[in-house]
Structure 1
Amino acid sequence: MLPSNCQQRQSRNDGDNHESEPLPSSENLQLTNGTGGTLHHLQATKTTVKERLSFLFNNELFSDVHFIVGKEANQQVIPAHKLVLSVGSAVFNAMFHGVLATKSEEVELPDVEPAAFLHLLEFLYSDEVRIDSDSVMTTLYAAKKYDVAALEEHCVEFLKANLGTDNAFLLLTQAILFDVPQLAALCLEMIDKNTTDVLNAEDFTDIDQDTLNAVLERDTLRIREAKIFSAALRWSEAECNRRQLQVTPINQRTVLGKAFHAIRFPLMSVEEFAMGPVKSGLLDDKEILELFLYFTVNPKPNVGFTDTPRRMTGIKLTVNRFPQINWQWHLPNTSEVTFTVDQSIFVVGFGLFGFYQKSIEYKVHIQIIHEDTKKVCGSNITTFCCDGSAEISPAMFREPVEILPDTIYNGSAEFCNMQEMQQYYGIDGLEQAVINYNSGEKVVFHFSDVELVDVSRRMNQIPAIIFLI
């Protein structure tokens, strides 16, 4: 129990009745002071300043202030020493020695968790850092409140080291709340690179509307737009429940607010649009009609939703599968490549061979199909230019195509209006290709068509796959 002011005054009055007392030596201090044994232990065994200050942490010995920390149900009285706190924190220095310094020996801190405040004090007394996943955010709050930058940096480093797809959104909201831009940037980078996993994590539906909108507006999300819509739909259901609203299309669109218009419906395929947004009931009849027209006519009408492809970030790599190149007259119009990869990637285009000693711009239809479901994952009619050399020319998809690990895909390139001329092609294709990057990391491709007799596959004009990791 803390001594009352009355008890302290009585103690001082009792002392006034003695006319004189000898100054205590260290020996008789141990005998007369109620904490003499403790003090002697401190003086005799703690040989460094750090050891002596650490001993005083959360210790009544010499304490001259008490903090009443936390709310009533979890309240804790913690002793401290003004000098130690003032040396380590400008906020504490102002609290005890500033113009508006407190005169009270008790300071209430209802907004700070007791465990977090103890972590803060332990750092000020000993430089020891004791944080874990349960206390790091409350400790970060205490470190920022009392301007202890070194402890704040330790907390941020801990969060960075433990950032993953399962907590990226939680840490993003906390980073925004506590104004930690470096951590927020790392969270957004994690969301960009692992969008599918992050949107499927449990904490996604717990984020606030502003954070949802900020994420959906990003140009760098690595995911198909149909999956973004599905994630937004899940979030709207959770938000309706939080607001105690009935889960209806009208209420779902209302709670989404600006985030609804951050969904890029024109980037979906017709099938994705019909099976998802149309069936959801969130779009009105006019919007549905305008979007169907967008998918089917040229020039494209204004639909009120952006059609700018998301520019996915990541390391752009190329896998080349042919060690040898040759040329011959008039190969088949279509070349194919069947492949699997050991991890999630995004294919952004194919590298194609051109025509022997012929500089020309050609139209080509490139496509990737999921081998089992026969679903078209990506398709684009584009042009590529060749200069008559054996150099590979890129033919790019309109938006990156998500490739799942250990899944068979069939890529194809159909050359439109092919003329009869000599063309370059690859021979003796690799069954496996390993791409090394980032000093030790790697991506492994397997190609399953190299043993086939079909000339369009063995003598192939798709030597390279261009992808993001």
Structure 2
Amino acid sequence: SHRQQQQQQQKPPQKPCCCRTRAQKILEAGYHQALLGCDQEPPHNWQATKATVKERVAYLFNTQYMSDVTFLVGQAPNEKSVPAHRFVLSISSAVFDALLNGPLADTSGQTIRLPDVDPTAFLALLRFIYSDQVCLDPDCVMATLYAAKKYAVPALERECVDYLKRHLSVDNAFLLLGQARMFDEPQLASLCLELIDRNTAEAVQSETFADVDVETLCCVLERDGLAIKECDLFMAARRWAESHLAKAGVSCTPENLRRELGRALGLIRFPLMSPEEFAHCVVQSRVLLDQEAVSVFMYYYTNPKPCTGFNDQPRCSYAGKEHVISRFCAVEQRWGYSGTSDRVRFSVNRRILVVGFGLYGSIHGPADYSVKVEIIHTDSGRLLGSNDTAFQCDGSNSTFRVCFKEPVEVLENVNYMACATLKGPDSYYGTKGARKITHDSPSHGKVTFQFCYAAGNNNGTSVEDGQIPEIIFCLQ
């Protein structure tokens, strides 16, 4: 009716609901500091500027806005307070989830101390969790790797390892090897060891070499592929021990050097040194016991070779992959030895490094042979490389590896003599030998060997028949 319409017109306007009023006030006045408890106010309507969830979560990184946990990271006086958000951390890391929400989580407070984590590395970890952004540099990458492993963020672990691989060099190889072993990163450790193998002489001169622990040192000394003379390797190990003793304030006496080297001393291959090198570098240092030094000298000058307690297997100190050229197509028996050398002449069409020979063993079952292998420059008669050693065979017609103390450089289109003087029982021998053999390496190309008869007393070995069935070499 007309009266009802008048009454409705006289009613005061309804107030908007409280929720709508609060939202309007926030939009009009911005985020008030007292309401949010923030140290800094976010820009008004910041959400509208972030098109994706990733952008909005990244915006929360290292801010007090909506944070519900605080970490005190590092140790005084460099301890740093870092705000964070339980939800973001919990969906990114099982460790954070257990720490913040598990049955042992401390829900009474919102501050968690992390004294063993570097503040810069922790911020790099959180930045990755919030935004997928990787922020690494040489000074913090190892600490960030530690944080990523501790809080189970494997994607950041991989980023750290990839970064280290890209920045691996001779100067930091030993440092990264020690860290890779500490953090159980076998792939990175393998890359470090391969680099050290190829550049041993330079790597042991780096500043980081003196800082490695003794187990890392032993890990390197056990390698067969170190590109360094054994005398120089001993001197490097001695410098390492002297550095550690100096840091500890201990005098560098022979006894203390021996004690500091520990197991590492037994990994030096003293029999690979020349008698002159051993006498000058090792004996004068007095690091070895008298009986140890005597046993090495006896190894040099007596046959059969006595046991010295030190490895006498030559190190394959070269850069590159090892290859083998086989001269024969068939194997026969019997080949005897009367003290003369089996010899064959050869040349190659490019520079190589000869690591050693493959030799045949006994036809009468397992046996020991003493052997002297040599490479001689044919025109001048100059001895380029040799090794007076021994090997064991198992009675099969397989070849057995005998290496030089150091790889021997062989130049292109130059004639050389391969010699092997064996003492032992009758052996297998090869037949149907080829005068020209080409070896094709996918990574290094082709190398062609040419063999010819060695005049003089060669124990019957020729291009077609005899000993020295294999030449072990590498390409550069």
Please indicate, yes or no, whether the TM-score normalized by the shorter chain is above 0.5.
Answer: yes
Change (3 A) 1:108 1:71: same
Alpha-carbon distance, 1:258 to partner: 1.2
1:25-81 deviations in whole A, cap 9, x for unaligned? 543213152269725342111011011111111122211222222222323222211
Q: Distance in 2 between matches of 1:178 and 1:146?
A: 13
- One-letter identity of the residue aligned with 2:66: F
Alpha-carbon distance, 1:174 to partner: 0.9
Of 25, 38, 41, 1:28 maps to: 25
Map of 2:276 onto structure 1: 271
1:152 aligns with 2:168: no
Q: How is 1:99-114 mapped onto 2 (pairs within 5 angstroms)?
A: 99-102=103-106, 103-114=108-119
RMSD over aligned CA atoms reads 4.4
Map of 1:85 onto structure 2: 89
Map of 2:67 onto structure 1: 63
Q: Distance in 1 between matches of 2:145 and 2:218?
A: 26
1:374-402 deviations in whole A, cap 9, x for unaligned? 8854446999xxxxxxxxxx997533624
Q: How is 1:275-314 mapped onto 2 (pairs within 5 angstroms)?
A: 275-310=280-315
Alpha-carbon distance, 1:289 to partner: 2.0
Alpha-carbon distance, 1:411 to partner: 4.8
1:121 aligns with 2:126: yes
Change (3 A) 1:54 1:466: same
Change (3 A) 1:134 1:230: same
Q: Distance in 1 between matches of 2:354 and 2:57?
A: 56
Q: How is 1:68-467 mapped onto 2 (pairs within 5 angstroms)?
A: 68-102=72-106, 103-310=108-315, 315-317=321-323, 335=345, 341=351, 347-349=355-357, 366-367=374-375, 376-379=384-387, 397-399=402-404, 401-402=406-407, 411-413=416-418, 437=442, 441-442=443-444, 466-467=472-473
- One-letter identity of the residue aligned with 2:474: L
| 1:250 partner SS | helix
Higher Rg of the two aligned structures: 2
Structure 2: which 5+ residue stretches go unaligned? 1-16, 327-342, 360-370, 392-398, 423-431, 450-454, 457-461
Asked if the contact 1:144–1:152 (Cα under 8 Å) also holds between the matched residues in 2, the reply is: yes
Asked if the contact 2:146–2:183 (Cα under 8 Å) also holds between the matched residues in 1, the reply is: yes
Q: Distance in 2 between matches of 1:92 and 1:203?
A: 34
Alpha-carbon distance, 1:136 to partner: 0.8
Taking structure 2 as the reference length, the TM-score comes to: 0.69
Alpha-carbon distance, 1:198 to partner: 2.6
| 1:238 partner SS | helix
Change (3 A) 1:410 1:137: farther
Asked if the contact 2:31–2:44 (Cα under 8 Å) also holds between the matched residues in 1, the reply is: no
Q: Distance in 2 between matches of 1:317 and 1:252?
A: 39
